[in-house]
Amino acid sequence: MTGRPPSVLLGVTGGIAAYKSAEVVRRLRDLGCDVTVAATPSALAFVGEATWAALSGKPVLTSMWQRAESVGHVSAARAADVVLVAPATADFMARIAAGRSDDVLSAIVLMATVPVVLAPAMHTEMWLNAATADNVTLLRARGMLVLEPDSGRLTGPDSGPGRLPAPQSLADIAYCAAAAGPGLSLHGRKVVVTAGGTREAWDPVRWLGNRSSGRMGYAIASAAVARGAEVVVIAANVDLPDVAGARTRRVGSHAELESAVTREAEQADAVVMAAAVADFTVPAQAAKVKKTAGEAPVLHLQQTSDILAGLARDRGAGRPILIGFAAETESDPEALNRRAADKLAAKGCDVIVANDVTGAAVFGHDRASVLILDRDGSRLHIADEPKLDIGGAVCTAIAERLH
């Protein structure tokens, strides 16, 4: 994102997951966001006002009577680029579904003309209750982005759906929603994103792999969720929190990724092949290969199938839209452009995203430089920007083709 920092209004309601909101503030600040916290009275029973003030560097909105001279809830709503409520309790969602504005946060949500993201957190029985389900459906129909909660450990020994997603993922989605604004939506579209790097086992403890961390794929998935898409992440050996609001399928090898993406692509509107997929595999040994003095094992590499080219070959009527990635060790911009153009033609995809990975400088980092080359001949250079912004640019390319 360029220009001024994105302004995030973080709303906190009265659930036990409110303690995680402090980490959400920290993550948003790490992304360069300007954060204002608005807390309901019940949220203050879980976390003290001073905590949010110290982390955000700004006063916390706790009452309709604050900032009376500027009508605090009005000015706060108008200053925000996105409203993120994390956690959003069942009670809070019921109140805003009814159009109530009986505290400062619900008034801000009712005022908001920017994207509103709700991250529900509650016990499983409350999340599955018919009243909650009806309210979620209604809020989504009104254009709010209501994320699916994670499944996992809840209060006490309970476990199930209702857990607040990881703070980092919530911050990423809020950042992407602020960047996207009212632009091209992916609502009602299914986007499949592969991420990470495959591993090809050559004995029970060793494998052939690569340096991919999955951060680029997860950034694209976050941007797609922020635009309202149904997102499936096919994660190959990724050690990152799941993308909030997305469904994650974990795979290990080229064969597993190929099977998963082929199946998910059948009903997809777009497939983004951001994973670093092995070009070669090797017949795996059943037992660990022992080290022998003076000798080294010989690996007989076998070329793997080209998953992206296969999807392009088998698709019908131009669907799904296919986005490929090309990791090149080529620092010269024109040479990189030629390689990207060659891959775009060879793969048969719609868009190729190429980047120079000389020295492995981009792996595991949150920023990158890329060339986005479209089959229509247009190209976009993005120099040293956050991967979340690159993810937004990729989603814009998808949305423009779909629209």
Identify whether the C-beta of residue 6 lies closer than 8 Å to the C-beta of residue 35: no
How many CB atoms sit inside 10 A of residue 89's CB?
A: 24
The one-letter amino acid code at 166 reads A
Contacts of 317 (CB under 8 A, 6+ apart): none
Alpha-carbon gap, residue 111 to 69, rounded angstroms: 17
Looking at residue 33, its amino acid is: C
List beta partners, residue 159: 153
CA-based torsion, 378, 390, 226, 102: positive or negative? negative
CA distances from 45 to 18, 37, 92, 114, 136 (A): 10, 15, 15, 29, 25
In this structure, are residues 352 and 324 in contact, taking their beta carbons and an 8 Å threshold? yes
**Alpha-carbon distance 115 to 85, whole Å?**
11
C-alpha span between 128 and 349 (Å, rounded):
41
Provide the angle, in degrees to the nearest 10, between the axes of the packed helices 72-79 and 104-111. 50
315 in Cβ contact with 322 (< 8 Å)? yes
Total residue length of the chain = 403
Q: One of 210, 237, 337, 355 is an active-site residue; which one? A: 210
Phi-psi region of 380 (alpha: psi -120 to 50; beta: other; left: phi over 0): beta
Provide the angle, in degrees to the nearest 10, between the axes of the packed helices 215-226 and 387-402. Answer: 50
Listing DSSP states for 260-295 in one string gives HHHHHHTT-SEEEE-SB--SEE-PPPSSPPPP-TT-
Q: How many CB atoms lie within 10 A of CB 376?
A: 10
CA-wise closest residue to 351 among 402, 297, 282: 402
Instruction: Kindly state the tokens that stand for 385.
Output: 């920007």
Tell me if residue 237 is catalytic: no
Alpha-carbon gap, residue 77 to 343, rounded angstroms: 46
Which residues are designated catalytic?
210
